[in-house]
Amino acid sequence: MSESIIQDIQHKLNNKEVSCVQLVQEKIDALNASTKNANNSILAESALKQAADFDKQLASGKQLSGLEGIPFGVKDVYLLKGTISTASSNILKNYKSPYTATAIQKLIDAGAIPVSKENCDQFGHGSTNENSIFGTTKNAFDDSKVAGGSSGGSAVNVAQKNTVFSIGGDTGGSIRQPAGYNNVFGFKPTYGRVSRYGLMAYTSSSDCVGPFAETVKDIATTLNVMSGKDGKDQTSVESTSIDVNAFSKDIPAGTKVGVYKTFINHPSLDPSIKKEFHVLIEKLKDSGVTVKELDFFDGDTLTATYYIIALAETASNLSRIDGIAYGNRAMDKDSLASTYLDTRSEGFSEESKRRIIAGNQVLSVGYSDEIYKKALTVRKGIEAKFVKDFNEVDFILSPTAPSLPPTIGQSLKDPLNMYLSDMYTVGFSLGGLPTLSAPFEVANNVQITAAKGKDEEILRFAYAIEQSL
């Protein structure tokens, strides 16, 4: 397999083996022909115009580099000026973006060409990509199975090679889980490494911007462009650039990996996933990696803690979307109260309304101290445990999800079970840790996690595994 699809494409562009217009047109044709329902809108006109500009530069002797001329997809929770940005919701189905999200703008400034706004669970509310006014996104390899969520459309487009890379959003696993269901790389960076400005907020304390790609190097290349401090996002932080060309195919001597016993021994873990995970662990041992079993919070506690906090922040964040200043408004009502009520009732899906109501409940008088504040305390305990664990090991490995992709419609009948499918991802989100979902050995991918700020170390380690398997 290629080490970098991006570099391969640029080599062809620079050698005149294909024009940028041809490349973009091929992707647009593939997006239009796809039967997976992965796209909310296809940006053909603007993409072809950008491609023609690059062809002119190539004709004048310029050599493309970085991300110049590379077509990519954008999850439809990011603002992109002049496009309809819906969050796959009814309340924003006609909302035209007045500006572009910082991360997306950085990619465009680097020469990447957005070709699609991609289907997702409404406002990120879901783990299956079934909670969308545009309908369900189908798994890249099986039309009867879900694509995963909430960034399902982004994962499917990369898996089908309809985009070279795509930008998703990960709050509790929304990049990592669909990456696993569709056998591609998906990366959630350290919280704050990439600006959230222009991302429609779900849970502000754990929302992260991250890429999907077919190779580790392409993950690193796109991450480099998006990273950095942004004055429009006070949670963003400075970061050093990752030297992609310095990646080694050898796993560093003395590498220590941790495995959480509570994850591997959880009764909901599919036996086939457990078996495949152990095979990978044994291969790493054979490569000289030291593996240590660690204790951790059980999956049920992690899931409960995450969702209490996430639901509370959801209720707060979505309170601003009422159809008055922007968005679709219920018309011809007899009072302001009924206008607000009907607008939000008609505008949000059942799943989103469920989360808003539950979030208001945990924040209400009499429940806040009993539920919400306790969850915040548990979160601090989780963060402290991570600090302790990463003093003992370099990385933590775990399955991305406990089960194989469910059949379409199955999770809608049992929302609680859908929430529990996130039990292996949400803990790392609560800790703000960088985590890569990688298609190594395990059917649903394996997660590689490190301490805060160790994004490069994860990608170096993953590259060595990628090249050795």
pLDDT for residue 312: 97
22 three-class SS: helix
What order of strands is seen across the sheet that includes strand 435-438? Answer: 39-42, 113-118, 71-75, 165-170, 208-213, 185-188, 435-438, 446-449, 395-399, 256-260, 290-294
Q: pLDDT tens per residue, the chain (469 residues)? A: 689 999 999 999 999 999 999 999 999 999 999 999 999 999 999 999 999 999 999 999 999 999 999 999 999 999 999 999 999 999 999 999 999 999 999 999 999 999 999 999 999 999 999 999 999 999 999 999 999 999 999 999 999 999 999 999 999 999 999 999 999 999 999 999 999 999 999 999 999 999 999 999 999 999 999 999 999 999 999 999 999 999 999 999 999 999 999 999 999 999 999 999 999 999 999 999 999 999 999 999 999 999 999 999 999 999 999 888 888 888 888 888 888 888 899 999 999 999 999 999 999 988 898 999 999 999 999 999 999 999 999 999 999 999 999 999 998 888 877 888 899 999 999 999 999 999 999 999 999 999 999 999 999 999 999 998 8
- Residue 190 included in any domain: yes
For the chain, give the number of residues.
Answer: 469
428 three-class SS: helix
Residues 80, 105: Cα–Cα separation, whole Å: 8
Q: Are 322 and 344 in contact (CB under 8 A)?
A: yes
pLDDT for residue 333: 84
The token pair at 249 is 């195919």
- Residue 254 included in any domain: no
- Residue 162 included in any domain: yes
pLDDT for residue 235: 97
Neighbour-count burial for 278-287, b at 16+ CB within 10 Å, e otherwise: eebbeebeee
Does the active-site annotation cover 75? yes
Q: Are 164 and 5 in contact (CB under 8 A)?
A: yes
Cα Rg of the chain (Å, integer): 21
- Residue 277 included in any domain: no
- Residue 286 included in any domain: no
pLDDT for residue 160: 98
Q: Are 69 and 23 in contact (CB under 8 A)?
A: yes
Model pTM above 0.85? yes
C-beta neighbour count of 119 within 10 angstroms: 31
Q: Which domain holds residue 19?
A: 5-246
Number of domains in the chain: 1
333 three-class SS: coil
- Residue 76 included in any domain: yes
Annotated catalytic residue: which of 150, 154, 166, 437?
A: 150
Burial grade of 205 (CB within 10 A; 0-12, 13-18, 19 or more): middle
Which residues face 399 on adjacent strands?
446
Annotated catalytic residue: which of 85, 151, 174, 352?
A: 174
Which residues face 27 on adjacent strands?
none
- CA 465, distance to chain mean position in Å, is 22
Eight-class DSSP state of 413: G
pLDDT for residue 304: 95
Annotated catalytic residue: which of 27, 75, 188, 454?
A: 75
- Residue 418 included in any domain: no
Residues 361, 307: Cα–Cα separation, whole Å: 13
- Residue 84 included in any domain: yes
Assign residue 20 the CATH number of its domain: 3.90.1300.10
pLDDT for residue 336: 82
**Phi-psi bin for 29: left (phi > 0), alpha (psi -120 to 50), beta?**
alpha
The token pair at 432 is 């703000």
pLDDT for residue 367: 87
* Single-letter residue type at 12: K
